Structure 1
Amino acid sequence: MAFVALFGIGSTNFHSAIGTPNGDFVTDISTEPTHPHRLETQLLERLEEMQSIRSLDAVAISAPGLVDAEAGHIRKFDTPEGDLIEHIDLRTPIESRFDLPVYLENDCTASALGEWYFGRREDHDSLIHLTFGTGIGGGVVDRGHPLRGESAQAGEFGLMSVAPESDLSSTGVTGAWEAFCSGRGIPRYVAHRFEADDELGENKSDFTRTVAEEEVTAPAVFEAAQAGDRFAQACLAQISRYNAAGIGALCNAFNPGLVTLGGGVALNNESWVLEGIERHLEEFCFVERPTLTLSPLGEDIGLYGALGTYRDRTGNQSAVEIPKSVSSTLD
């Protein structure tokens, strides 16, 4: 039995655990803030601790940004503060210090692999995983093969344009999906709509006054809508159509049997997100509609993605039973 050091690195949080290829974690999951400017050191320090617990056979890493999987480098890492860190070499220091093979993958592609091996795939041959977090990203796995693209940059689904007539954008893409529907985009869209909405008149609420006076957050928008605020509800209704348009386009392009959703925006607002997409998906989807569900892997999907990456790279393509730690969440 192999023991793999797993790292699910996010822009904000840094998750780690030791796992086995069948999907079991043999240690508790450790979570700490991500330190992008000292990421190599953070990894080495945590690996030192993990090696003291159990002898390791490999290291598997799921990381955000543009990843050179073959070289074991993160080519570009975008921090929450907007800093762009270029060329973080993870493989060389790990191999030099621990003499362990290193398997690195972009977090969205890795998450799709995690879904393939350890999620709710059942008998589906093709799946898409979408992450609604600070931005929107995703991955496609078809018959066990992840789609990486010419330069391993496939899966930037958040940069698909769902509203080309809008002047909102993300990383230079006009009308980008994530400019409206991501954790960072939702507040921007709400503020933009508030400024342009001439029909608010005397119907302004505590929420709209907050929008006018300070920067709101995505959770605040969902909370206001849940409390009955009509402006917040109208914004989320349009966001639902944008989500359905994005997912419909992906379905028409890839014909998945399963689409799973993850990331804080989706996981924390299940009814709003899923019901909104289901309400409008028929307008945009030509192919047979896939099963649409939240990922059963939850916030641990980065670690399962790292483990899926290990399985993909080491040539073990067979499906496995859903681990007990995951199956318990499906009951």
Structure 2
Amino acid sequence: MDHVAAFGIGSTNFRAAVARSDGELLTEVAVEPTRPSDLADQLVAAVEDLRSATDRDVDGVAVSTTGLVDDAAGAIREFDTPAGETIDRIDVASAVDRAHGLPVRLINDCNATALGEWHFGARRDEDCLAHVTFGTGIGGGVVEDGRLLRGESGQAGEFGLLPVAPHEYESTGVAGAWEAVCSGRGIPEFAANRLAADGRAETEGPDAADLTAEGVFAAADAGEPWAEACLDEVARYNAAGIAAVCNAVNPGLITLGGAVALHNPDWIVSGIEAHLDRYLFVDRPTVRITPLGDESGLYGAVAAFRAGRDATGSTATTGAGERADVPDADTRERR
């Protein structure tokens, strides 16, 4: 049974654990702040800590990370910081190889989570599932019969750029992008604009500069009408986005993750369920919050490691940046 040092790396948090390839976590999950400017060294040190934390040999390193990922080269091509800055090219595999001589599997976090759902999460007997992550942006992945849908250039799963929202909102140059109004970054801007348009910004809502997605949900929980009305519109756009995914790939199951969904499951799931049929053509799938929770990135990393091993008989990426021909290898961007 393979043992892997698994990492779930976000812009803010850096999670690590040793796991078996069947998904069992063998150590406590260690969580520390992500150090974007020092990420390769942070990863090397964390691998050392994990190897010291278990008496089992570690066979490889699996990394689920936000950003533009080049698994073939073993590098994160672009990594977004919480401050909105971008760090270019972080050579992960070569750093781990020099320090530990271990192979590395690198995968985008949203695609990884879809693989994690297939192997370890909510799937029962469905042949096709889609996962949607509601975080700073919106991303996801589709897995059918165990294979991750990658697309021609590895960019499949950019669900947050589906144009379902008002065209005056945009993200990454896409007018009407779903994530421009329904993500952790989009919700406060959408709420602030609604308040301003209705002339209520000074009397009913908080100052736009202080508005956060967490604050909008908290206000709605407290029964504030402006927040409830905002989240009702967000729910309609979420339903349209989920339906667009369904109409395109016809999944039997959709799982939802990311901080926005995990921290506000009732608002997100009930809103989608209430409006989904209006936009849906294909058979209605089951929609549920991922059972993998905050550790979905870790499970996704393990699933990617497992998929690479099963496809080739070995792990995917060597420390020198060469890799076997792994069909599931991911090379796409996710904010």
Same fold (TM over 0.5): yes
- 1:67–1:152 Cα contact (<8 Å) kept: no
User: 1:190 aligned to 2:186?
Assistant: no
SS, match of residue 56 in structure 1? coil
Find the aligned partners of 2:297 and 2:68 in 1 and give their Cα distance: 16
What's the counterpart of residue 29 of structure 2?
29
After TM superposition, the structure 1 stretch with the greater mean CA deviation from structure 2, 124-133 or 150-159, is 150-159
What's the counterpart of residue 114 of structure 2?
112
- 1:187–1:215 Cα contact (<8 Å) kept: no
Find the aligned partners of 2:155 and 2:78 in 1 and give their Cα distance: 11
Q: How many residues align?
A: 310
- 2:195–2:201 Cα contact (<8 Å) kept: no
CA apart distance, 1:25: 0.7
CA apart distance, 1:116: 0.3
Find the aligned partners of 2:266 and 2:275 in 1 and give their Cα distance: 14
How far does the alpha carbon of each residue in 1:27-64 deviate from its partner, in whole angstroms, 9 at most, with x for none?
10000000111100000011111222332111000011
Find the aligned partners of 1:156 and 1:287 in 2 and give their Cα distance: 20
How far does the alpha carbon of each residue in 1:114-168 deviate from its partner, in whole angstroms, 9 at most, with x for none?
00000010000100011101111101001100011222222111111112x4312
**Superposed, which structure 2 residues align to 1:168-183 within 5 Å?**
168-183=169-184
What's the counterpart of residue 46 of structure 1?
46
Find the aligned partners of 1:37 and 1:126 in 2 and give their Cα distance: 38
Which structure is higher in RCO with an 8 Å CA cutoff and minimum separation 6? 2
**Superposed, which structure 2 residues align to 1:80-159 within 5 Å?**
80-159=82-161
CA apart distance, 1:96: 2.2
User: 1:281 aligned to 2:276?
Assistant: yes
Residue number among 53, 60, 63 corresponding to 1:61 in the alignment? 63
User: 1:76 aligned to 2:97?
Assistant: no
SS, match of residue 70 in structure 1? coil
CA apart distance, 1:211: 3.3
- 1:127–1:258 Cα contact (<8 Å) kept: yes
User: 1:315 aligned to 2:317?
Assistant: no
- 2:113–2:131 Cα contact (<8 Å) kept: yes
Q: TM-score, normalised by structure 1?
A: 0.91
CA apart distance, 1:70: 1.7
How far does the alpha carbon of each residue in 1:75-120 deviate from its partner, in whole angstroms, 9 at most, with x for none?
1111111111111111111122211111110001100000000001
CA apart distance, 1:201: 9.7
Find the aligned partners of 1:278 and 1:12 in 2 and give their Cα distance: 30
**Superposed, which structure 2 residues align to 1:164-243 within 5 Å?**
165-198=166-199, 200=200, 204-205=203-204, 208=205, 210-211=206-207, 214-243=209-238
CA apart distance, 1:227: 1.1
What's the counterpart of residue 244 of structure 1?
239
After TM superposition, the structure 1 stretch with the greater mean CA deviation from structure 2, 298-307 or 86-95, is 86-95
Name the aligned partner's letter for residue 98 of structure 1: H
CA RMSD of aligned residues (A): 1.5
Relative to structure 1, the CA distance from residue 227 to residue 57 in structure 2 (aligned partners, 3 Å threshold; closer, same or farther) is same
- 1:194–1:211 Cα contact (<8 Å) kept: no
Gaps of 5+ in 1: 318-331
Identity of aligned residues (%): 54
- 2:192–2:201 Cα contact (<8 Å) kept: no
Name the aligned partner's letter for residue 49 of structure 2: E
